Chains A and B, each alone.
Chain A
Amino acid sequence: METLNRRAAFRLAGLSALGAALAACAPDAAGGGAPKGDAAAKRFGFTSWSLNEEAQKAAVRATVDAYAAKHGVRIDTASFPYNEYLNQVTLKLRGGQLSGAVQLDISWLAALAAMGKLKDLGAQAAKGGYTDVALSSGRFQDRQLGLPWTTGSIGLVANTEVLKKAGVEGMPATVEEFEDALRKVAKLGGGITPYAAATKAAQLKDILPWMRTFGSPLMEGDTITVGDDASVAAVEWYKKLYDAKLIAPDVDRFDARALFAQGKAAFYDDAVIARGVVAAQSPDKSLTEKMAPLARPVLKAGDQPQALLWGHVIVVVDGEGSDAAADFASYATSDTATVTAFFEKVKLPPTTTAGLADPKVAGDAFTTEWTEKITKTATPNPFWRYAGYAQIETAIAEQVQAVLVGQSPAKDALARAAETAKPLQK
C-alpha cells in the first residue's frame, strides 16, 4: 500500500494549487465588447424551450418561420429541456454564447437581469398594446426587460362531476366552505383525494398563495414576513387538512395531474394550460367538460382571491442583432393575427388587449373564465425579485414539510425558514 509522506503531501498540495491557479486564469469567454444592435440585421438567434415541447413546438416554429419569411431574415433557433433551461441560459449568457431573443419563465427574469446583459424593451412595450398585468411580468427594477408572450396564473381547478357526486352545491368561496366541500368529497371514499395539493418539498411553494389568503404579505419592503401570525395560521390549516387526509402526502404537480386525470381528485392547483395536459393523461374523454377553474377561496367574504401570476416573456440579449431580435419579440407577442393563431394551437392566452378581445380567444369559455376568476387578481411571487428566489422558496417549503410530517410546530418552522431565507435576499 502506498503511503503519503509529508514531502509528497507538500508536493501534492503545491501542484493542486498550481492547477487551481491555472484554471482560474482561464480566459473570460465573454470576450470583448459585443457589437451593438442593428435593426437591419439579417440573422439573429432565438432560444426557447417551447421549440422542443411536443404540444407547442409546431406553433412556435410557425411563428418563427412566418417572421423569417416576412422580413427575409434567418433565425437560428436553440432549445434546452425546461428543467435545465435556466442553468443553461445563464451559463451561455455569462460565456457570451447567447444572443438574440430568449424565452423565459417570468420567475427567471430577475436571475438573468442581474447579469446586466438584457436590452431595455420599453419602446416595444409602449406600442404593443399589452395589458398592465402582462407588462408587469416583464418588468425588473422599473425597466421593461421582457415582452409578455403569455400571461396566466396558477389557480385552483375543480372536477365538477366529483363535486356533484359528493353533494357540493356551487363552488366554495371561503376557506370554511372549501374545507366543508373537501370533507364531503372525502366521504365518497374510493381512493379519492379531495384536494391534490402539493405536499412534496419541490412543489410546496404552492402554499404561498394560501399564506397570502390568510393575510400574510410574504414580504414588506425588503423584509420577509414568513413566520408572521397569518402565515403560521395558513400552515396550521394545511397541516389540519393533511392530518384529516383531505390532502395526500408526497404529491407534486405531476402526481396531482395524474390523480385529477383519473378522476381521483376533486381539486388541484395548475396553470391555465392544465386543460390540455390533464386531458391527454385521462381515460375519460369528457374530462375537459367537467373541469372548472375557481377563484381561490378567501378567509372572509369580501377579501381578494389570491393567485400566483404565471407566464412566459421574451427578452433580448444586448449586442449583435439585438434590434432585429427585439422586433421579432414584439411581433411574436403582440401581432394580433400571430398571437391569436398561437392561442388556437396551444391555448396559451395572449397578452395584448386586442388579442384577448379577439373572438377566437374571447370565445373560448375555459380561458375566459380562468382569466376572469383567477388571472384578474393574480400577483407575482415577491421573492422573484431576487436571483436566489428558488432557494428562498426551498427554505420555506422544507420547513412547511417539517410541519406536515410533525417534526416541528408551524411557528418555529417558519421562523427558521425566514432566518434561512434572509441571507438569500440578493
Chain B
Amino acid sequence: MTATLSRSVPITRAPRGRRPRSRAAAWAAVAVIGLFGLAPIYWLVVTAFTPDERAFTFPPSLVPTELTFDHFTKLADNEKLFGYLVNSVVVSVVTAFLSVVVSAYMAYAFSKFRYRGRKSLMHLVLASQLFPQALLLVTLYAVFSASGLLGGYTSLILSFTTFTLPLCVWMLKGIFDTVPSTLMEAAAIDGASRWRTLHRIALPLAAPGLVAAGLFAFVRAWNDFIFALTLTDPDRQTLPPGLVHTYLGEFQTAWPDLMAASFVVSLPVIAAFMFLQRYLVGGLTAGAVKG
C-alpha cells in the first residue's frame, strides 16, 4: 500500500535581475556561516601540527610556518587515551542503543494507541526537558551513590539515556504519526499480531528516524563532560574529561597535544556521520510535516 501526497503549489518567479543578487547574498550567508563553523576546526588542525614553542606565538599566525608530527607520535605512547576512547565508545553506543529501543516503544505507544493519561504522560516526558541537567547532577550523584552504581558505566549510561529520551520520543512520535494507521489495520486483517505489526511494518518505515535518534543520543553521550567526570571512576571516564585530565591543569596547557588528540579521536565520529548523514537528515525532517 502506498500513500501519495500531491499538491499543486503555484510557483512565482522572482523578478528578473534580482535573482543573481539574492543568490550572491545566499552564498555570502553560507560563506559566513561556513567560516564560523570551520574556523575552529581549521585552528584545531593547525595547532595540532604546530611545535610547542610556536603554538603560543603572539600575535598568532593563521598559516603555520613550521610543522611537526611530534604531538601525533606522542599519542601512540599514551595508553590512557586509548582507554578513554574505549570508554567513550562503550558508553555512547550503549546509550544510543538503549535510547532508540526505549524511545521507539514509547513513541509508538503515544502515536498509535489511545488511552487515559496519554497526553499527560507525553507532556510529562517533555517537561523533564525543562530542568537544567546540571542541576540534576547532585541528585543523581546521591541516588547512584546510595544504589551502589556510582563509578562504573551504568550510572553514566542511565543518565545519558534519561536525558536523550524526551527528544527521541517526540522525534519518533512525529515519524510514527506519519505512518498511516490503515497500514496497521491492513496488517491486523492479514492476521499479524501487534508485536509483528510494530517490528515488521512500523519500525522499518521509521528507520531514518531511528538512526537520527540514535545519532542524537550517541553525540549527547560522546560530548558530555561534567556527568562523565562526576559519576565515574577515573578508569571509566570518557574522552572529554580524559582529555582535560591529560592535557590541562593548574600550570599545564598542552594545547598542541590536546588538539592532536582531539583531531584523532574525532575521526571515527566524522566517518560515522558521513556514512549515516542521509539517514540523519531524512530522520530529522520526516516527522516535521503531517500529510
Contact = CB atoms under 8 A, between A and B. Distances in A.
Interface stretch (B51-59, B192-200, B274-282): B51-59
B244 A26 contact: no
A191 B61 CA distance: 14
B152 to A, nearest CB: 14
Most buried by A among B58, B59, B254: B58
Interface stretch (B2-10, B25-33, B115-123, B261-269): B115-123
A27 B143 CA distance: 7
Contact of B142 (A4, A29, A54, A273): A29
A26 B251 contact: no
21 contacts: A2-B119, A2-B122, A11-B123, A16-B124, A26-B139, A28-B142, A52-B245, A55-B251, A55-B252, A80-B245, A81-B229, A81-B244, A81-B249, A82-B248, A84-B244, A91-B138, A191-B59, A257-B56, A258-B56, A273-B251, A281-B56
Interface in A1-32: 2, 4, 8, 11-12, 15-16, 19, 23, 26-29
Given A52-B246, A277-B251, A78 B234 contact: yes
Given A55-B251, A82-B249, A281-B55, 5 more contacts: A53-B249, A54-B249, A95-B145, A191-B59, A262-B58
A185 to B, nearest CB: 16
B252 A54 contact: yes
Interface of B is mostly: helix
Q: Which 5 A-B pairs have the closest CB atoms?
A: A29-B145, A258-B56, A283-B53, A11-B120, A82-B250
A88 B53 contact: no
B241 interface: yes
Nearest to A16: B127
B171 to A, nearest CB: 15
Interface of A: 2, 4, 8, 11-12, 15-16, 19, 23, 26-29, 49-50, 52-55, 78-84, 88, 91, 95-97, 191, 254, 257-259, 261-262, 264, 271, 273, 276-277, 280-283
Interface in B214-266: 226, 229-230, 233-234, 241, 244-246, 248-254
B139 A53 contact: no
A49 B250 contact: yes
A203 B141 CA distance: 31
A281 B234 contact: no
A91 B227 CA distance: 12
A53 B119 contact: no
A224 to B, nearest CB: 28
Highest count of chain B CB atoms <10 Å: which of A79, A81, A258? A81
Contact of A8 (B55, B57, B120): B120
